[in-house]
C-alpha cells in the first residue's frame, strides 16, 4: 500500500513564530496518524529551522537550482537542501512556471539534479482552464510528466507527482473527486506505459488545488489519489491538521 503524503505549501508566507507553532502542533498531531507522511514546505529561509524541530514531519523546499554551486545569486542548491536535512523539493509549481517563466526543459534539469542529489522532487503538473476547455488536459499533463522524467533512471521512492489543475489553485474551486481521480489514473497509466507498471503502481500522486478540511476526505478516498499538496489551508493549523487526518488509512 502506498503511504499517503499531505504536504503544506506555505508559498511566501510565514515567520519564525509561525515556524515554531507549526513545528510544535504538527509534531504532536502527525505522530498519531496512520500511514500518512506530513510534509511542510516553508519559504527557503525557514527550511533549516523547521527541519531542526522535526520529529513527525519532513520538510520540502519550494524551489531549487540545478547546479551544484556557483555564481547563481539568490539560488539554493540540492546539496544545500540535503545538508540541512530537507527531504523533498517542489519542482514545476504552476506559480513558478507562470510567474518565473520556468519551462519544461528547466524543470527537467531541476528534477534530474534533485534525484541525483538525493532530494525527492515533488513534480507539479496541471493544465490551465483554457487547455481543459479545449479538451487538451490529458495531453498537456502527459507531456509535462514525460518531459520532466525523460532519460532518468529512478525508483518510485525518488519521485512524488502532484496534479494541480491551475484553475483550482488558490481559487476556491476544487476539481471534483471524479475529475481528479480521472487525471490521477491517467498519470499512473502514462508511467506504466512509458516507464514501468511496478513504478506506476508505487509512485505517490498527490492532488492540489483548493483542498480544504471539507473536501479532503472525499478526494483522498479516490483509489489513485495518495494525499494532497495544500496551499492556503496549510496556513491554518487546525484546518491543516484535519486535512492530514483525512489522509490516514
Ligand atoms: C498550491 O499552491 O500548491 C495549492 C494547491 O494552493 P491552494 O491549496 O491554495 O489552491
201 is annotated as an active-site residue: no
Q: What is the mean pLDDT of residues 107-111?
A: 98
194 is annotated as an active-site residue: no
Angle at 101 between CA 97 and CA 104, to 5 degrees: 60
Q: Say how many Å lie between the first and final Cα of the chain, rounded.
A: 10
Mutate which of 210, 214, 215, 227 for ligand 1? The one with the most ligand atoms within 8 Å of its CB, which is 210
> From CA 172, how far away is CA 211, in angstroms rounded?
8
The verdict on the CB of residue 229 being under 6 Å from ligand 1 is: yes
pLDDT per position as a tens digit, 215-229: 999 999 999 999 999
Categorize the per-residue pLDDT at 249 as very low, low, confident or very high, splitting at 50, 70 and 90.
confident
DSSP state of 96: H
> From CA 195, how far away is CA 154, in angstroms rounded?
10
pLDDT per position as a tens digit, 28-54: 999 999 999 999 999 999 999 999 999
- What local confidence, expressed as pLDDT, does residue 178 receive? 98
Instruction: Using a cut of 0.95, tell me whether the model's pTM lies above it.
Output: yes
Categorize the per-residue pLDDT at 16 as very low, low, confident or very high, splitting at 50, 70 and 90.
very high
- What local confidence, expressed as pLDDT, does residue 5 receive? 98
Q: Which residue has the cell 483542498?
A: 211
> Which ligand 1 atom sits nearest the alpha carbon of residue 95?
2
Q: Which three cell numbers stand for residue 118?
A: 538525493
Categorize the per-residue pLDDT at 1 as very low, low, confident or very high, splitting at 50, 70 and 90.
confident
Q: What is the mean pLDDT of residues 67-75?
A: 98
- What local confidence, expressed as pLDDT, does residue 218 receive? 98
Q: Bridge-partner residues for 36, per DSSP?
A: 4
- Per the prediction, the chain carries an average pLDDT of 97
Strands (E), the chain: 4-9, 36-41, 57-61, 88-91, 120-125, 160-163, 204-208, 227-230
pLDDT per position as a tens digit, 199-248: 999 999 999 999 999 999 999 999 999 999 999 999 999 999 999 999 99
Amino acid at each position: 500500500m502506498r503511504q499517503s503524503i499531505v504536504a503544506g505549501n506555505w508559498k511566501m508566507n510565514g515567520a519564525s513564530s509561525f515556524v515554531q507553532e507549526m513545528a510544535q502542533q504538527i509534531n504532536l498531531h502527525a505522530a498519531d496518524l496512520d500511514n500518512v507522511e506530513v510534509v511542510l514546505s516553508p519559504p527557503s529561509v525557514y527550511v533549516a529551522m523547521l527541519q531542526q524541530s522535526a520529529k513527525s514531519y519532513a520538510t520540502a523546499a519550494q524551489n531549487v537550482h540545478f547546479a551544484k554551486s556557483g555564481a547563481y545569486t539568490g539560488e539554493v542548491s540540492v546539496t544545500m537542501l540535503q545538508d540541512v536535512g530537507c527531504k523533498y523539493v517542489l519542482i514545476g509549481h504552476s506559480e513558478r512556471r507562470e510567474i518565473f517563466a520556468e519551462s519544461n526543459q528547466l524543470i527537467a534539469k531541476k528534477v534530474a539534479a534533485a534525484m541525483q542529489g538525493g532530494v525527492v522532487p515533488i513534480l507539479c503538473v496541471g493544465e490551465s482552464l483554457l487547455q481543459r476547455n479545449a479538451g487538451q488536459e490529458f495531453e498537456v499533463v502527459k507531456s509535462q510528466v514525460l518531459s520532466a522524467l525523460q532519460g532518468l533512471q529512478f525508483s518510485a521512492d525518488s519521485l512524488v507527482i502532484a496534479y494541480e489543475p491551475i484553475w483550482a489553485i488558490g481559487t476556491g474551486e476544487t476539481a471534483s473527486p471524479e475529475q481528479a481521480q480521472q487525471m490521477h489514473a491517467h498519470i499512473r497509466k502514462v508511467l506504466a506505459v512509458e516507464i514501468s507498471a511496478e513504478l506506476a503502481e508505487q509512485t505517490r500522486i498527490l492532488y492540489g488545488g483548493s483542498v480544504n478540511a471539507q473536501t479532503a476526505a472525499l478526494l483522498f478516498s479516490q483509489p489513485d489519489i495518495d494525499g494532497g499538496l495544500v496551499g492556503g489551508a496549510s496556513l491554518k493549523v487546525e484546518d491543516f491538521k484535519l486535512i492530514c487526518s483525512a489522509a490516514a488509512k
